[in-house]
Amino acid sequence: MDFFAGEVLYFNKPLDWTSFDLVSKFRNQLSKKLKVKKIKVGHAGTLDPKATGVLIVCTGKATKRIEEFQDQTKEYVATLKLGATTPSYDLEKEIDQTYPVDHITLEKVEKVLSTFVGTIQQVPPVFSACKIDGKRAYEIARLGNEAPLKAKTLVIDALELLEYTLPEIKIRVVCSKGTYIRALARDIGIALDSGAHLIALERTRIGQVTLDQCICPDDIETFLNRATIITEDQ
């Protein structure tokens, strides 16, 4: 493997790690293996700390392909808790409001989910990396200020109900670049005349890359030891 000319690797990001945490761990171990102080490493498509799953990492000249991977279709499996919301729309923040769920039925959930398939408008979460006048939205929100974000046009290719055990539902989402599943959970809750937030999220696919192709961070050292590596002076 030639990490300087560029390699594309697939990782399974653990819970409560940032995407940068994973990239940093891999870069440090790769640098030690290559006996270099610096090598370019980047990731395509950020995952929130409370999300797990497929993260594509590029090295060397392959970092030029990051945008290519970011543009590919993503697939997620998400668990939503109905009847409660949080400011971040996931477990990063504490519950701020509760809502009734007695009126929600399986038929109502299936009908609401169907309305999100196709081209939709979505307002990103205030606790997100979207930029407002050069500042990240989450930086503004953490100061207690308003973070006005504009709706973006997205495409939901598929939205399937996997499990229905009120107050929780599990869904499979196939969507375009830029889709916030946290925001989708918020909007599903509103459409159900209730509230909702994410309690689990796993990215199961980017393009043709699936979880079973991914390396766990604990296996990075073993992976590098087994790889046939080309160094800069070869």
Say if strands 41-44 and 118-122 run parallel, antiparallel, or are unpaired: unpaired
Confirm if 196 and 139 have CB atoms less than 8 A apart: no
User: Which residues have a Cβ under 8 Å from the Cβ of 86 and sit 6 or more positions away?
Assistant: 92, 93, 94, 95, 96, 197
Degrees, nearest 5: CA angle 205-26-74:
15
* Residue tagged active-site, from 2, 16, 48, 218: 48
Task: Select from 46, 9, 5 the least CA-distant residue to 224.
Answer: 9
Q: How far apart are CA 223 and CA 109, in angstroms?
A: 43
State the amino acid at position 110 in one-letter form.
E
| Catalytic residue status for 48 | yes
Element (H, E) at 22: helix 19-34
Element (H, E) at 66: helix 66-70
Positions marked active-site: 48
